[in-house]
Structure 1
Amino acid sequence: MKITKRRLILGTTALAVSSVAMTGIGLRVSQSQAFFEDSPKEIVDEVWQVINRQYVDATFNGEDWRGIRQEYLDKEYSDKEEAYEAVKEMLKKLNDPYTRFMNPEEFKSMQIDTSGELTGVGIQITKEEETNNIVVISPIEDTPAAEAGIISKDIIRKVDGKSTEGMDLNDVVSLIRGKPGTQVKLTIEREGNIRDYNLTRAKIEIHPVRARIENTPNLGKIGYIRLVQFSGNAVQEMKDAIELGEKENVNGYILDLRSNPGGLLYSSVEIARMFIDKGQIVSTVDRVGQVDAHNANGSVLTNKPIVVLVDGGSASASEILSGALQDYDRATVVGTQTFGKGLVQSVRGLGDGSGLAVTIAKYLTPKGRDINKEGIVPDVVYEMTDAEKEVLIQDRDKIGTTEDAQYRKALEILSQQVAKK
């Protein structure tokens, strides 16, 4: 898949991974980099200009954005590092953890297309707006973080003994990532309890779809599809999974989006089109109210009953898909309230090899629901007990099996849906 200069992502704030290919992102040539080396003030103005043109909030969080430009251009910067710090200080005035600056090293390390091989511990994190805590959105499946038992909503208090209080999100990511085989200690707070996790960084290969056909006592054949990320190759893998289910004549599907932190906008739209025959799937609204609608196109692959599993780690593109299926009564959503990230970022390379992620729009479900901060509330709320959660934390191979309490609930609901049909 070709990576455009400014790719729309619905994913997470930052990823504790590294070694991601950035081909096609639009980094400038060496002459441009030399110019920015000699004139570090230029990077400050370039970032200001991008925010001025694209940022979702036309009030700029109530700040005098033109005045801010003058303030920061009146300063002198001895080198680009001082300019970088000024840019970060300037962006903080927007009070938006999703709009962030990355120096060249951080930008190269940022994951844009998850179809490649990564290195790190495999967690996706954000900085909470209300508390400024560094919070885990979700671990990536089959990574050191997931296998160690780190879960959504965990608060990262320390990295290798260094407190994250007041720390910039990118700085936390830089502390966590590193070479495969090296260790990092995360001090995690969960429900008031503090625990250390010693993780060994590793190479991470992400396969977004895990699917199987299962023979059940009451339902006969069903298709179980676990989608862990909306990456570039998720569309084809999902298509293959559904086509296999139709070939096997399954009676229904369980679509598992738990701990799926999101990914690419087009991926969520294309997958929704496999289940929804007509109508609007999602609309994006920018700061002047313009609406960019994405619609179904008659390419539906199945009309079988669907149950969607979600939890607090289901974010962004997961909320687009589950929200659309819910609005059309195309599926029954089961689990717990989702993360609530209804914002779209554009990621672009800057003149000196650094990068900028800018919040450019919010998205709405087909019924016009703005799910940012609210999330998707399931049709059937099923909160697992601590004991039920521990079963899956201790052995993640039990996810999507009868040892998984939410999966059992999904089977029960799917049985009812099949019986109605």
Structure 2
Amino acid sequence: MLTTVPFKPLSAQRLLDVARHALEARAKERGVVLSLFPATASTPEVDVSALDDEIETIAGLTHDDARADAYLTIRAMAAAFHDPYTVFWDPEQMLAFQHELDPQRTVGVGLELRRSRAGIVVAYVVPETPADRVDVRVGDRIPSIDGKSTHDLGSTAAEALFAGKVGTPVSITVERTGEREQTFTLDRALYRPPTVTSRMLPDRIGYVAVSAFGEATPEEFDDALHRLVAAGARGLVFDLRNDGGGFVSSAVEIASDFLGRQPLMVIERRDRAPATIHGENDAPVHLPMIVLVNGNTASASEITAGALQDDRAAELIGTQTFGKGVMQELDPLPDGAALKITTAHYLTPLHRDINKRGLTPNIRVSGAQVRRIGELSHDPQLQAAMHALLAQLVARAHAHR
């Protein structure tokens, strides 16, 4: 696979030499001096078989785990490409990657908290969870959980009080401006922490933030978008700040929500003609939109942002994005490890190459003064997005008079 799939390939001989040098160095560290014959690459099957035999031989001489030596050779071959995105992950690293894109189910009541001057407050309510069903809202203050004061707790420590066995009760006290304090007793439930959060901002401006493009993200995004539209959203802030990417298929699906069947990206692969990828949505949503970006907006999130900017479906506000215009394929191995290999280069629909360049926002707004992302009173970039959207809405209203 390392000789046939990469966008910029290396010869089989080069990869064999790198693998053998890595094995020799490992043996030397263990006090075993050997020199592997620089075998000539023949067929992939013969090469792999010979390398397997050498790994077993060296493991016997050095009393190493053969699997650790196999991992060593694969890592060495991946590193030979001098590509930061072509890497080998052991099972633990692969599992961490999967959890980042698609968080594992957790037990709780569905609340994400943050600390403010007012104390511990609700930052987000996960839809269809116990807290959502009793109408706990963003901004509600939580002075106590299970009778324990949150006055001196940070948000992580406060959220830890929700942990427990599924079905067991936990009480929360809720304070809301203009209303009497309430105490709810909720049964803990199993739910998946979201990669998408949303809420309605003032002037009926919807806000949706995506933290990563996982397998479940398009469905979460569709649910959030349709809830905001049903609630009467007049415009949308789409927050992709600090979103390092994920699955390209998820980015394409989300961009399709707004662009229908328009071009979304152009993919260049080795020895193939460039391929234009189109959206597959026959009922796209049309709303005035601003996309928030920063230097950590990368990869799949740049695919989405670039397509929306090229189509003029949205303006970008913030700072220059990361600039990752290459794509990887993930090749899982039987033991849970995986190879991630750069296989393609992509361009925006207007054939802009963003690799190592990034996307330039339509309106530059520094993130230096952003104290809390997504909180309007402490987020100048979000304030700029609101200002731009309201100006668009006023201009549209005048144009239709």
Q: Which residue of 1 aligns with 2:387?
A: 412
Q: Does residue 325 of structure 1 match 2:308?
A: yes
Larger Rg computed on CA atoms: 2
| Partner SS for 1:259 | coil
> Partners in 1 of 2:71 and 2:201 — Cα distance?
53
Paired residue secondary structure (1:51)? coil
Match of 2:298 in 1: 315
The 4+ residue runs of structure 1 with deviation greater than 6 A are none
- State the 1:373 CA deviation: 1.1
Deviates more, 1:232-241 or 1:346-355: 346-355
**Alpha-carbon distance in 2 for matches of 1:265, 1:417:** 30
Code of the residue aligned with 1:259 in structure 2: it is N
In the alignment, which residue of structure 2 is the partner of 1:99? 86
Counterpart residue number, 2:8: 57
Which residue identity lines up with residue 232 of structure 2 in the other structure? N
Partner of 2:13: 66
Tell me: CA distance 1:291–1:142, structure 2 relative to 1, closer, same or farther (3 Å).
farther
The residue that corresponds to 1:191 in the other structure is: none
Query: How many angstroms does 1:267 deviate by?
Result: 0.8
- 8 Å Cα contact 1:336-1:382 kept in structure 2: yes
**8 Å contact from structure 1 (residues 276, 300) kept in 2:** no
Candidates 227, 237, 246, aligned match of 2:210: 227
Name the structure 2 match of 1:114: 101
Question: CA-to-partner distance for each residue in 1:269-291, whole Å, 9 max, x for gaps?
Answer: 11111111332101221122433
Paired residue secondary structure (2:389) = helix
Give the SS at the match of 2:343. strand
1:352/1:275 CA distance change after superposition, 3 Å: closer
Q: Which amino acid aligns with 2:325?
A: G
Is the CA contact (8 Å cut-off) linking 2:253 and 2:280 kept in structure 1? no
CA contact (8 A) 2:213 2:251 kept: yes
Q: Could you say what secondary structure the match of 2:208 adopts?
A: strand
Q: Is the 8 Å Cα contact of residues 18 and 76 (structure 2) preserved in structure 1?
A: no
Does the C-alpha gap of structure 1 residues 245 and 358 become closer, same or farther in structure 2, counting only changes over 3 Å?
same
Q: Measure, in 2, the Cα distance between the counterparts of 1:90 and 1:364.
A: 28
Matched, 1:83 2:70: yes
Which is bigger in relative contact order (C-alpha 8 A, separation at least 6)? Answer: 1
- Distance in 1 separating the partners of 2:253 and 2:94: 27
Who is 2:23 aligned against?
none
CA distance in 2, matches of 1:362, 1:142: 39
**Alpha-carbon deviation of 1:237?**
1.6
Q: Which residue of 262, 271, 282 corresponds with 1:288?
A: 271
* Code of the aligned partner of 2:13: R
Distance change in 2, residues 1:105/1:115 (3 Å): closer
1:213 alignment partner, one of 197, 200, 203: 200
d(CA) in 1 for partners of 2:257, 2:395 = 22
- Does the residue aligned with 1:95 lie in a helix, a strand or coil? coil
Match among 356, 361, 367 for residue 384 of structure 1? 367
**d(CA) in 1 for partners of 2:375 and 2:258?**
21
Mapped to 2, the partners of 1:329 and 1:53 lie a distance apart of 38
In structure 2, relative to structure 1, the CA distance for the partners of 1:332 and 1:107 (3 Å cut) is closer
The one-letter code sitting in structure 2 at the alignment partner of 1:210 is T
Normalised to the residue count of structure 1, the TM-score between the two structures is 0.60
Q: Which residue of 2 aligns with 1:344?
A: 327
Structure 1 portions without partners, runs of 5+: 1-49, 120-140, 144-198
1:281-338 deviation per Cα after TM superposition (whole angstroms, max 9, x unaligned): 0122112243343212343432111011000111111100110000011101000011
Partner SS state of residue 111, structure 1: helix
Structure 2 spans left out of the alignment, 5+ residues: 21-35, 38-53, 60-65, 107-111, 115-155, 164-190, 397-401
Amino-acid identity (%): 30
SS in 2 for 1:53: coil
Size of the aligned set, in residue pairs, is 279
